[in-house]
Amino acid sequence: MKENKIYVDGTVGLGGHSSAILEASSPSGILYGFEWNEDSFRIAKERLKRYGERVKLFNKNFIFIKEILQREGVLADGILLDLGISSFLLEGSKRGFSFQKEEPLDMRINLSIELTAKDILNNYDFMNLSKVFKKGEVPKAEKFAKFICEKRKKKPFETTQDLVKAIKEFYKSSKKDLLAVIFQSLRIEVNKELENLEKVLRDFPDILKLSGRIVIISFQSLEDRIVKNFFKSDPRIKVLTKKPITPSEEEIKRNPRARSAKMRVGERV
């Protein structure tokens, strides 16, 4: 991190990485931060206001990074995307991201989205529901989609626990990994996460300075595959991590949710 440089945090969350970037680039580094969730954005804005004009925050999805940087007439020295869903969203949003709580089946990161997880489960036809589960690598995707279509005829899905009960009934299992992958497949569909990631990656070479760096941390294979393919396929990006960087055992002990993290780094050439 250097002074007078411009950095982008595309997934600000509650501001942890943004604070670290602003500290490391003190006293004159500028940060453009993007946080799509309304509540996280408000908290981050409050936490980062001590950096004054060095930080510019936007309550927008990271697909708007290119548009805003071009409007401001700047190129970035470094871009960070941490694609993990924040603990705050899982535990504090009351939008049904976690299978461990009884909440409405919403899963919208931003409330401007019209589609909810409840809509998908109750209204998608068998073919489209199968696609959602297949794309999310859900085991027995087609059979599970058929089961959901039968189940909703008797009673529509309303809450996270309605879905958890259906999963347990169909799979005869309540393994956390199984619950997590099914919830994740719905969340990805609601928020168009994979499409948005593909779009922003295509934009990055246009908004990075020469020798500028991209750091992307993903937590599941679907996203990591997209990042890996992007780094391989765009000749303007030199891959600096032959294999993804993974957390140490000590880091996993401190933060168990980091166990699946993979970090890839690229440089604009």
**R_g over Cα of the chain:** 20
What per-residue confidence (pLDDT) applies to 210? 97
**256 confidence band (pLDDT: 50, 70, 90):** confident
Query: How confident is the prediction for the chain on average, in pLDDT?
Result: 96
Residue 77 has pLDDT above 70, yes or no: yes
User: What tokens appear for 266 in the block?
Assistant: 């690229």
Range among 24-28, 97-101, 159-163 with highest mean pLDDT value: 159-163
Say if CB 122 and CB 157 are below 8 A apart. Answer: yes
Over residues 41-45, the mean pLDDT reads 97
Residue 8 has pLDDT above 80, yes or no: yes
> pLDDT by residue (tens digit) across 103-145?
999 999 999 999 999 999 999 999 999 999 999 999 999 999 9
- C-alpha closest to that of 5 among 15, 24, 80: 24
Say if CB 30 and CB 6 are below 8 A apart. Answer: yes
DSSP letter for 159, please. B
What per-residue confidence (pLDDT) applies to 226? 97
pTM value is: 0.94
What per-residue confidence (pLDDT) applies to 258? 85
**259 confidence band (pLDDT: 50, 70, 90):** confident
What per-residue confidence (pLDDT) applies to 3? 66
Cα–Cα distance, 81 to 91 (Å, whole number): 21
Q: Tell me, what amino acid is at 29?
A: G
> pLDDT by residue (tens digit) across 213-225?
999 999 999 999 9
- C-alpha closest to that of 166 among 105, 108, 92, 125: 105
- Which residue segments constitute the domains of the chain, with CATH numbers given? 6-82+194-268 (3.40.50.150), 94-191 (1.10.150.170)
